Amino acid sequence: MALFGTDGVRGLANKDLTAELALDLAVAAAHILAEKGVFQSTPAHKPRAIVGQDSRASGEFLEAAVVAGLLSAGVDVYRVGVLPTPAIAHLVAESGADLGVMISASHNPMPDNGIKFFAKGGGKLDDALEAAIEARLGEPWERPTGNGVGRVVDDQSAYEQYIYHLLGSLNTSLHGLKVVVDCANGASSEVAPAVYRRAGAEVVAIHNAPNGWNINDGCGSTHMDDLIAEVKKQGADLGIAHDGDADRCLAVDANGNVVDGDFILAILATHMKVPAVVGTVMSNLGFVKAMEGTGIKVEKTAVGDRYVLENMLANNHVLGGEQSGHIILREHANTGDGVLTALQLMQVMAATKKPLAELASVMKRFPQVLINVKEVDKSKLDSAEKIAASIAAHEAALGKSGRVLVRASGTESLVRVMVEAEDLTQAEKIAADIATVVKSELK
């Protein structure tokens, strides 16, 4: 099984993702990038890496291991502490650093952790580079000595640099808007409330007191009940939910209705008047139809914001994203940035003087049913003929009024069965039927 998933390496910290593995990954990444000509390490000129983490306790020992690996490979490390994943991507691009490393498992439960690499320029590594790194783990190598080893610097300026970048994306004050932000007790706990206030909004922050253990625990973009309740209690104009590393943004309107990534993408695309927008195979059919109705072309990629970005770069698109809330605004960033997305969404509200519910009416969401089938061997999915036959039969019955998507998760050990249809009951029945076949065939 491949070590790298849809978004870096993830696993149960200190069991699947150990300090030893983290150190080896850092060393292998340094070697591969050096061989590809991304940088050259000499005593006179050492490459630079920026290393950040989310608020998980396990990030402390994993950061130490990653830093040790990079230093031993002759790479200087700028350690920036707890910051969102997109902050690391921005800092790598802005500073001209040769490598970025983010230690985070994003929306996963606290016991998990992960490692994401960013290449020079701030983009995520492509599949070929990740495969090359994995292939070189644990290899013998000639270690630098003396002044050939790297040095570490604690970069105290990174937080303000990131805030300055975010505020620079705005041309409208957010004065008059009241927002509740759920920081998931994660990497956005300080930066998100601070930047929304500096942009002019009145801010109420919840789940913004990380203690190492409470990240994503009943809060954030995967558990939005607290945010919905607080928006109603506060009489706020909207709520914003981030995940543990703040590369996602979901919203709640003043009535407590969830506004997911498809709605946010539709709002931004319509306001920006883009000719095309990039989604994924998980984009809701209602989003696709709404964009087509306004003359905006929708291009679809595999799930993962790096695949969205690849399409955007190849076709010169400026806007793309995922239903999960990863939105890429290429004018300002080259990866999903939840805080940036929230700012841009609130800017549309401020500029148009329209409530979020009215803006979200640009699309009608097709009922969607998602079943996560656990305890199955997802590696057998592509060769399971009975599953393929079940999918084909249901797709034929739906025609153009719905769709079926069955895929192995890139970040968890499960298979996702997603069905969309104009009728919820029909979607639920089809999803349950296919999930039963998946469970039977992949057990």
Check whether 332 has a pLDDT greater than 90: yes
Query: Which two structure tokens, joined as six digits, stand for 283?
Result: 């984009």
Cβ atoms of 200 and 175 closer than 8 Å? yes
DSSP E strand boundaries for 104-186 = 112-119, 152-154, 178-182
* pLDDT value of position 42: 67
> Is residue 379 flagged as an active site residue?
no
Range 168-360 classified under CATH 3.40.50.620 = no
* pLDDT value of position 45: 77
Q: What's the gap between Cα 184 and its chain centre?
A: 14
Mean pLDDT score, 199-215:
98
Angle between the N-to-C axes of helices 19-35 and 127-135, in degrees from 0 to 180, rounded to the nearest 10: 120
Mean pLDDT score, 243-264:
97
Q: Where are the domains of the chain?
A: 9-159, 168-360, 368-441
Task: Report the percent of the chain where pLDDT is more than 90.
Answer: 86
Average of per-residue pLDDT values in the chain: 94
pLDDT band at 6 (very low <50, low <70, confident <90, very high): confident
pLDDT band at 306 (very low <50, low <70, confident <90, very high): confident
Q: Which CATH superfamily is domain 9-159 in?
A: Alpha-D-Glucose-1,6-Bisphosphate, subunit A, domain 3 (3.40.120.10)
Helix (H) or strand (E) segment spanning residue 162:
helix 158-167
Cβ atoms of 181 and 106 closer than 8 Å? no
Q: What's the gap between Cα 322 and its chain centre?
A: 9
Helix (H) or strand (E) segment spanning residue 238:
strand 238-241
Q: What is the pTM of this model?
A: 0.89
* pLDDT value of position 43: 66
CA nearest to 201, candidates 182, 175, 220, 225 = 175
Architecture of domain 368-441: 2-Layer Sandwich (3.30)
Q: Which of 4-8, 62-66, 131-135, 285-289 has the highest mean pLDDT?
A: 62-66
Judge whether 168-360 and 368-441 match in fold. no
Q: What's the gap between Cα 402 and its chain centre?
A: 27
Check whether 329 has a pLDDT greater than 70: yes
For 81-122, the pLDDT digits (tens) are 999 999 999 999 999 999 999 999 999 999 999 999 999 999
Cβ atoms of 261 and 327 closer than 8 Å? yes
For 43-55, the pLDDT digits (tens) are 667 899 999 999 9
For 29-42, the pLDDT digits (tens) are 999 988 877 776 66
Catalytic residue among 106, 188, 221, 324: 106
CA 240 – CA 251 distance, rounded (Å): 5
pLDDT, greater one: 244 or 422: 244
